[in-house]
Amino acid sequence: MLRWHDDSLTLELAVRDLGGARAELGSLAMSPRARARAGERAHRQVRDAADEGTRHEETWRHTEEVEGWRCVITARVDGVVESLDGHTLVEEVKSVGLPEEALANAEIAESWRRQLAAYLYIAEAAKLPRPEGRLRLVSLVDGSQRVVVLHPDRHFAAWLRDWLRARVRARTLWLAWRHLRRNAPVPFPFPDLREGQGEILAAVQDAAARGQVLALTAPTGLGKTAPVLVGALAECFRSDLGLFWATARGTQRWIVLDTLRRLKEAGLPLRAVVVPARAEACAACALGECLGTAELADLVPLAEAGIVLPAEVAAEAVRQGACAWALAVEYAAHVADVVIADLNYAFDPDVHLRPCLGYGAPRRFVVVVDEAHQLPDRARGWASARLDAVLLDALDARYRNASGAPFRELAEQVRGWLLAEAVSGEPRLWEPDDGELADTLARYDALAFEHARCVADDPRAGEDPWRQLGQALFRFAAYADHEGEEVLSLTDGTSLQLICRDAAFLLEDRMAACAAVVGVSATLHPTWFWRERVGVPADRFTELAVTADLPAANRLVLVARAVSTAWKDRERERPRLLDLIERSVSAVPGNVALFFGSFEQMHDLLGGLDLPGRERVVQRPGMSAAARAETAAAMAEPGRVLAAVLGGVFGESVDLPPGALSAALIIGPSFPPPDLETKLLTEWNERRWDDGFGLASIQPGMTRVVQAAGRVLRRPEDRGAIVLVCRRFLQNELQEYLPASWAPQPTSRPWEELAEFFGEGG
């Protein structure tokens, strides 16, 4: 990792930091730890067999002056030999996963050539006699070796200076910008602050200044984005921090970008970038074929643009011959004031953006988590895994010949786990014997070299089920220390699942790495529960609940008490429920959203509804971003009924056109299904916090309800109604999760209250 000393204009780096894709010949199917141990053994064997007089693990230092900066490069050379014929042999050892024949014909990775070229360049600068490079490739599969002789590269000096110049210019760009922005006042991007926005702005700035984690709860439609941005940027500018805006869905980017543009138009010096998913940014990355980087990138054109979108980054990447995703990350890490990306890139231990949020990053970031109520459950997914019988069947078919017997034997052992204690397909807890998982992983690692030989003899295209098995085993093993508490393993005879009940252990280090965190949502109740589940200590936590809301006279909240949507009542209540929906929709002159607990319930009821004069706009599972945008835009037209599911994109993340909805009918509280996972969460919450059903079912169900209802009233001038369709909404434990300002009215004939409400408005 690069180490910058701005006061002395010094950059420290190692030769391994010089960029290029991480190289590996013959990727071995084994755990990273086992791969590292095998590589260490290969290096020891080479050292033990080396000629007398070889100097091992020698450290060299070299200094380059680049545009006023002193760049100190450190090299740790595997072997140096001063030969009798006057040459200085500089050796680099690489362990590879190819057998002898494949190794002999393999193409040498560019980054390996570059590493040795750097050693030779440093050796020449140090006046060592006639340096010559020797790249020794050692096969871990069969012990064979290949030696590639490399001579000093006359182009390397120019390349190195270009690489250092790109780094130095990016840093200089940031330092000059930092000085400019440090005393820049951050204006509010709208003429006036709404009620509650000033309170939000001050709380965010204070939390960022004190390095705290702020849980900010504010009603939908209040306008949280602007005060959060202004408060966070004010402290980031004052303290030379970056701002990382983490979104749960890509659709949430645009309101942030719009607010940033308003700030820039108001005179704020501002640079921002969207970092999309890698496959979304770069077509070659999507195919696994991208060898490009942005290591020689000139960031000035993007910096001059200020706020750059993925299309603009992609165009600049084409011009410079760089990977578009890598270029976006370079701009994010070194130049941008604001980085907008998925919350995976902030908190997932496997994919977080290390150049921005990793150890040794050039600066620290305040992280804003939009729709923060989604973070704990998203993190639970990161710590979960699944092994299916279908994968084991594919493995048996792929390795059915005699040489595949060891692979099939291990697969049969794993198949035994799937069948363990499973009765009639009912999921049961799987509790491995002491050391069983570790022993299985060791067996898997031990077969890595045999697997490499098989693959070399039979190189088929497509996914290799043996590698897929290993990936699942590694994940099970990674969280084995938490087995029985935060994570549990379940088997139903056809699959083995690792289910995470509480991901606080996974998030606590990522939270600690942030300069400060602001979790923003309309539904963080209860905030202590959110704090516990994201792994934040109480002494670093603060909270703010803004009660200011849109004008009460503009909102009608009803509870339809005459019907039940409970599963046991659905068939009996269906005719009455259909009648209630039809009458209620008819009583609303504007567009209406119907939010259902599941796609199954939605399609069942939609099939029986008669909604004359209304065009249906229906959510479908797995809609593309373009389809979601088209569906949202369709709601700008009158006479529409949106049918969507609670917890889906139209219930939480996609902003419909302003004023698109006049009413929303929430068809039931949308509790999680009463399956084994919900039961396990209930047990965990009961044991940990003495509220099993409330925290495992009511809390997530009512969070979806409040989020969906928030689609109706988005601006002070909006006027609309929310109908909670089910008598269960009158229960005290459910009403506890409703905003206090709602004051829901129970009714048996909601269409009458709706007609009166909208008649008054007309």
Residue 284's CB is within 10 A of a number of other CB atoms, namely 14
- At residue 552 the predicted structure's pLDDT band, cuts being 50, 70 and 90, is confident
Same domain, 211 and 273: yes
Domains in the chain: how many in total? 4
- At residue 50 the predicted structure's pLDDT band, cuts being 50, 70 and 90, is confident
699 vs 285, which has greater pLDDT? Answer: 699
Same domain, 188 and 315: yes
Q: Which of 467, 483, 500 is the last residue of a domain?
A: 500
pTM above threshold 0.95:
no
Residue 175 covered by a domain = no
Side chain identity at 475, as an amino acid letter? Answer: R
CATH number assigned to the domain comprising residue 110: 3.90.320.10
Same domain, 594 and 522: no
Q: Give the mean pLDDT of 453-458.
A: 77
Q: Give the mean pLDDT of 531-538.
A: 96
Residue 168 covered by a domain = no
Same domain, 229 and 107: no
Strand partners, 386: 497
- Share in percent of the chain as helix, strand, coil (round to 5): 45, 20, 35
Residue 713 covered by a domain = yes
Same domain, 599 and 471: no
Residue 91's closest CA among 174, 45, 147? 147
Is residue 762 over pLDDT 60?
A: no
Same domain, 723 and 578: yes
User: What is the SS3 string spanning 419-475?
Assistant: HCCCECCECEECCCCCCHHHHHHHHHHHCHHHHHHHHHHCCCCCCCHHHHHHHHHHH
CATH number assigned to the domain comprising residue 414: 1.10.275.40
Print the domain residue range for 648.
552-761
Same domain, 395 and 448: yes
Residue 489 covered by a domain = yes
pLDDT digits (tens, 9 = 90+) for 649-669: 898 877 788 889 999 999 999
The predicted pLDDT at position 19 comes to 63
Same domain, 398 and 372: no
Task: Give me 518's structure tokens.
Answer: 């602001």
Same domain, 153 and 13: yes
Residue with tokens 């390795």: 399
pLDDT digits (tens, 9 = 90+) for 601-626: 999 999 999 999 999 999 999 888 88
Residue 178 covered by a domain = no
Residue 173 covered by a domain = no
The predicted pLDDT at position 761 comes to 52
Same domain, 413 and 374: no
CATH number assigned to the domain comprising residue 516: 3.40.50.300
Same domain, 482 and 511: no
- At residue 227 the predicted structure's pLDDT band, cuts being 50, 70 and 90, is very high
Residue 174 covered by a domain = no
Residue 277 covered by a domain = yes
Same domain, 208 and 353: yes
**Spatial separation of the C-alpha atoms in residues 300 and 322, rounded to whole Å:** 15
* Residue 362 DSSP one-character state: S
